[in-house]
Amino acid sequence: MSLLRVIALYVLGFILLSPVTAHKACCKNANLWKSIQYQLKLVETTEGRCDCDTKELHGHKMVGFLAKSLKDKKNVNSGSTVIFDKVVTNTGSGYDASTGQFVAPYEGLYYFTWTTLTYYSKYFSTQLMHNGNIIAANFPDGRGISSGHVSATQSVLLHLAAKDKVCIKTNGTGHHMYGNKWSTFSGFKI
């Protein structure tokens, strides 16, 4: 008998034998017991592992990506799309590392976040764009320091239609972004 089953039986026994709740909560206890049995069966059949390769969860299509920049970006022109070239995760295949653009495979509510790191005495101003419109900005400014690095993170929540496009673009000139896995762009469908 697994440790989880022993703990579940102990908790359930305590609830069922409690004189205060025994009479008032018979139906609730029966439902609780069914729920515990179901959860135990899930844990035992998967040996505690998550099936993270699935593309659907309870009927909802899963979409999510994480990309990072391996290369430094220096003197990038204003309005350039920032390419996060190393894809770590791309469930739903929405992010394209060759263009730096996410295209929503399904309609829904999406959460995006991006972090950029810049050098001392430099800056890197970016904007999250949704179908060509500026949604939010991010500005790590290292111009006031004489050594080290400065990072900035920004997050947004957007309702997207299928095929809507989201990307990160530079704003202004003279940009310097530190790559080496420090600068990232990610998003997922809620």
Q: pLDDT confidence of 142, banded at 50, 70, 90?
A: very high
Greater confidence (111 vs 76) lies with 111
* pLDDT over 60 (residue 72): yes
Q: pLDDT confidence of 55, banded at 50, 70, 90?
A: low
Using CA atoms, how far apart are residues 81 and 60, in angstroms rounded to an integer?
30
**Residue bearing tokens 């810049």:** 118
CB contact set of 164 (below 8 Å; sequence gap of 6+) = 103, 104, 130, 131
Element (H, E) at 46: helix 26-46
Residue 51 lies in a domain: no
- Name the domain count of the chain: 2
- 60 lies in the same domain as 40: no
Domain residue limits at 170: 56-189
- 137 lies in the same domain as 164: yes
- 163 lies in the same domain as 181: yes
* pLDDT over 80 (residue 67): yes
* Contact of 113 with 155, CB cutoff 8 Å: yes
- 34 lies in the same domain as 60: no
Q: What is the mean pLDDT of residues 163-189?
A: 94
Each residue's pLDDT tens digit, 81-98: 999 999 999 999 999 999
Sequence-ordered strand ranges (E) for the chain = 56-57, 60-61, 64-68, 73-76, 86-91, 95-96, 101-103, 108-119, 126-130, 133-138, 149-160, 165-170, 175-177, 184-189
Q: What is the mean pLDDT of residues 54-64?
A: 74
pTM for the model stands at 0.70
Q: pLDDT confidence of 25, banded at 50, 70, 90?
A: low
CATH number for the domain harbouring residue 108: 2.60.120.40
What is the structure's pLDDT at 37? 75
Residue type, 14: F
Q: pLDDT confidence of 187, banded at 50, 70, 90?
A: very high
- 124 lies in the same domain as 89: yes
What is the structure's pLDDT at 31? 76
What is the structure's pLDDT at 14? 57
The CA-atom distances, in angstroms, between 159 and each of 105, 141, 190 are 13, 30, 10
- 85 lies in the same domain as 141: yes
- 78 lies in the same domain as 110: yes
Task: Quote the percentage of the chain above a pLDDT of 90.
Answer: 63
**Strands, sheet with 165-170, edge to edge from the N-terminal-most edge strand:** 95-96, 101-103, 165-170, 126-130, 133-138
- 62 lies in the same domain as 139: yes
